[in-house]
A and B are shown apart, each in its own frame.
Chain A
Amino acid sequence: AQKITQTQPGMFVQEKEAVTLDCTYDTSDPSYGLFWYKQPSSGEMIFLIYQGSYDQQNATEGRYSLNFQKARKSANLVISASQLGDSAMYFCAMSNFGNEKLTFGTGTRLTIIP
């Protein structure tokens, strides 16, 4: 069974600072994918970044990067130079390549302070 753990229910960060959102995962499958999604107050789920279990390098997408530490089973999201528009819920999720459904964590509510 897959499990995603996000231990930070809420975070407050000053604008322009970098922020790290924690995510640990558990799976016995060697082939899996890790995802981060953003959910603003409007409710939609916005795909941010993806990391495959066999990817050698950490994924990056603009201001988002994924700090993938396979041995520690962690997949932390790093947002550089935070902006007010980054205030939202952030969900870490994973899927196994033989079972493509996403398993989500409980989310972290990020608030950016001006």
Chain B
Amino acid sequence: DSGVTQTPKHLITATGQRVTLRCSPRSGDLSVYWYQQSLDQGLQFLIQYYNGEERAKGNILERFSAQQFPDLHSELNLSSLELGDSALYFCASSVEARAEAFFGQGTRLTVV
């Protein structure tokens, strides 16, 4: 158990809908990262938050947004969902920005 909790584990939704993925980092970790894993794109970095502030942005679509709350949990919001958004979404956390990141179990999103 990495100590990073992601909910839900599985999500099935229709095209055009909006979903929210939730992540609770390991106790004491200030940095939260979101990654997307799909068959065609592999593992891609989406966005990073550090102590509530956005720190880095990767290949995140404009339809996607995220935030980190004062208690350090984070949410990834995906809207106007398309079939191609079906993927495994990982949250990871680290104690500081330079340390190794520990991953949650992922949320498997299926858009039908």
Task: For chain A, give the interface size range.
Answer: 20 to 34
Closest A residue to B57 by beta carbon equals A101
A-B contact count (CB 8 A): 55
Known: A101-B48, A103-B45, A106-B42. A43 touches B102 (CB 8 A): no
B105:A43 contact, CB within 8 angstroms = yes
Contact across chains for A99 and B90 when beta carbons are under 8 A apart: no
B7-18 CB mask vs A (1 if < 8 Å, else 0) is 000000000000
Give the bracket for the number of chain B residues in contact with chain A: 20 to 34
Q: Which of A47, A100, A104 contacts B43 (CB 8 A)?
A: A104
Partner of A101, one of B58, B90, B102, B104: B58
Q: Digitize B93-112: 1 where CB-to-A-CB distance is under 8 Å, 0 elsewhere.
A: 01001101111111010000
B103 lies within 8 A of A37 (CB): yes
B112 shortest CB reach to chain A, Å? 20
List the B residue with the shortest CB-CB distance to A42.
B105
Closest 5 CB pairs of A and B: A45-B103, A104-B43, A101-B45, A100-B97, A44-B105
Footprint of A on B, CB under 8 Å? Answer: 2, 31, 33, 35, 42-43, 45, 48, 55-56, 58, 88, 90, 92, 94, 97-98, 100-106, 108
